[in-house]
Amino acid sequence: MLEIGANNAALSIFVAHRDPKIKIDAVEIQRKATILAQENVNLNKKEQQIRIICQDFNTFWKQQNKQVARKYQLIFANPPYYKQDTKIIKKVSSELKRAIYEIDLNLEQLVFGSSKIIEQKGRLALVLPIERFVDIIEVLRKYNFEPKKIQFVAPRIAQAIKFVLIESQFNAPWGTHYLPTLYLHPKNKNKHTYRKEVQKLYVSKRKKNV
């Protein structure tokens, strides 16, 4: 597996926790973030599952592409989601700006690079704000990724959708399935715990089989 834009490795650790057999290459361009990511990997004892790589993804995929035998079955990312020309509402650090704005990597570069290092029928899973939904569908189709599973995410029932989860497949036939909307928290705004269906996502495969 490959994570693009791993930041502090929280997502890679979450994925690795679900199955001890999973191996992940986690690519991150910012040096400070990779130092924190490695600390988090060590703290969670995931050194045997997660490899932190400090590199620009646009360079990484070109190097990987030369290694013909090295292809990924699954690539996942929570990529920078604001377009570079988006007006910045408040002051943010340069690190945060690079993490959430398309400065080092935009959606098209991410999808194009992924198409070069993914297996035939391999999957690309993305988390994006709902505002970029149409944009990502267009880019996926452009580079032969067919959206297969789509799930909208909202904070609570009756609240607006905030994010979209998209799983696409490379060089696959058409056909998209919409999963039920995922509501993160109870309807009661005074309760900030996760709903049961969200809590289940944090259960490892090992515990499920016990």
Q: Which range of residues forms the domain containing residue 112?
A: 2-208
Tell me the Cα Rg of the chain: 17
- Over the stretch 144-158, which tens digit does the pLDDT of each residue have? 999 999 999 999 998
Residue 12 has pLDDT above 70, yes or no: yes
Q: Distance between CA atoms of 76 and 6, rounded to whole angstroms?
A: 9
Q: Which residue reads 């995929």 in tokens?
A: 61
pTM over 0.85, yes/no: yes
DSSP 3-state of 1: coil
Total tally of structural domains belonging to the chain? 1
Q: How many CB atoms lie within 10 A of CB 157?
A: 11
The answer to which of 61-65, 157-161, 203-207 has the lowest mean pLDDT is 203-207
Residues near 64 by beta carbon (within 8 Å), at least 6 away in sequence: 70, 116, 117
* CATH number of the domain residue 81 falls in: 3.40.50.150
